[in-house]
Structure 1
Amino acid sequence: MTTKIVLTALGIIFCILFFGYLFYQYKNYTDAPKLDIYYPQNNLLLEQDILDVTGKTDIDSEVFINNQKIILNPDGSFATSIKLKEGINSLKITTINKLLKKTEMIRTVIYRPSKVNMEKPEESTGSTESTPPEGTPPSIKEILQ
């Protein structure tokens, strides 16, 4: 009788584990794909016009950045370079799995060219405009100009 109880308990445990595993696999298959963006962070301020975007998604998914398909590495990671326009740039990063479920993230990047590269030597105009001290963070108005 004890052997019968042990075998029954083992059978029940095996069935619970088996169906739990099936449920786990079904849930992973039918859920929207995971999307991790390693770089850039949101609201990043850059002085160069090329941005490297890196991240990772599920292996069987496709990744698009602003509707352009990105090639995935075998482990699901991706990396690409994006040319930025001056000012605010919005990156829509989308991943779509085989069941057409999608995950989407938006990252905003501000490209402001370095003033060293942009400034031309100017003649003294006698202007009395004051400039902020060195190291002062830029205002929003300055960023968006």
Structure 2
Amino acid sequence: MTTFSEILSSKRKAKRISLERAARDLLIKKELLEALESANWVKLPEPTIVRGFIQNYASYLGLDAQHTLALYRREFDEKKYPPKTTVFEKPKKLLLTPKRIVNFASALAILIFIIYLVIQYSSILESPKLQVTTPPDDFTTQVSNIVISGQTEKEATVSINGEFAPVDSDGNFSYQLALKDGQNIIEIIAAKRLSPKSKVTKIVRLSH
């Protein structure tokens, strides 16, 4: 008894049609046509697609498409070959090329520069730190001259009651102020370009 696959193969050969030509005319891979003609079911896609191939191939060869499908179903148990799951390609490994390394280094340098600018901009807009170590708060003394000292940022300038107090490279400052009798309100101000000022107020009493 002639099998389904033999019918396809013999009909094609009788028409002197090569597998390459049939594959080109039907837009079907040559390997799939070979699998149909050799009953190599494991190489075929899922049955619903195979049935479409068979109908097109049978019509192309001048065979009755429905009769050819019936022969296929008689020989091929579709339940034994469940639909194939799609196999996704594994992601390609990332290859480090000189161009990619240069691009990555450039992007990293730009990112670092942006972070640097943000930090610098934030520091510019931030008030300079100001710490007054002497005199203590609400201080009373009998000495008419008092030393006002403390620490700020080295980029800042310090004024005490409107008078400039020098700041060293570590941000330390010291200033001698003459007191008047009674209560003295002392304003220590640290300023930095484009930044808000920092101010500390001390009250010192001169008592004889």
TM-score category of the 2 structures, normalised to the smaller one: 0.5 to 0.7
Residue 17 of structure 1 deviates from its aligned partner by 5.5
CA distance in 2, matches of 1:89, 1:50: 12
Which amino acid is 1:32 matched to?
A: S
Name the counterpart of 1:28: 123
CA distance in 2, matches of 1:35, 1:109: 19
On the 8 A contact 2:188/2:201 being kept in 1, the answer is yes
Residue 101 of structure 1 deviates from its aligned partner by 2.6
On the 8 A contact 2:128/2:195 being kept in 1, the answer is no
On the 8 A contact 2:155/2:192 being kept in 1, the answer is yes
Name the counterpart of 2:180: 85
Which amino acid is 2:162 matched to?
A: N
Q: Does 1:56 align with 2:123?
A: no
Structure number having the greater strand percentage: 1
CA distance in 2, matches of 1:60, 1:2: 48
Q: Does 1:67 align with 2:127?
A: no
CA distance in 2, matches of 1:3, 1:45: 72
TM-score normalised by the chain length of structure 1: 0.63
Larger radius of gyration: 2
Residue 81 of structure 1 deviates from its aligned partner by 0.8
CA distance in 2, matches of 1:37, 1:24: 26
Residue 105 of structure 1 deviates from its aligned partner by 1.2
Which amino acid is 2:152 matched to?
A: T
Unaligned residue ranges in structure 1 (runs of 5+): 114-145
Fraction of identical pairs, as percent: 23
CA distance in 1, matches of 2:169, 2:107: 38
Q: Helix, strand or coil: the match of 2:199?
A: strand
Deviation string 1:3-59 (CA, Å, 9 cap, x unpaired) is 69xxx9999887765544432222112212111111112101212111110011122
Name the counterpart of 1:39: 134
CA distance in 2, matches of 1:100, 1:25: 12
Unaligned residue ranges in structure 2 (runs of 5+): 1-93, 98-102
CA distance in 2, matches of 1:17, 1:44: 48
Structure number having the greater helix percentage: 2
On the 8 A contact 2:126/2:195 being kept in 1, the answer is no
Q: Does 1:104 align with 2:205?
A: no
Q: Helix, strand or coil: the match of 1:101?
A: coil
CA distance in 1, matches of 2:191, 2:115: 26
| 13 and 26 in structure 1: CA distance in 2 versus 1, 3 angstrom threshold | same
CA distance in 2, matches of 1:112, 1:44: 11
Deviation string 1:109-129 (CA, Å, 9 cap, x unpaired) is 11212xxxxxxxxxxxxxxxx
Which amino acid is 2:167 matched to?
A: L
CA distance in 1, matches of 2:195, 2:163: 17
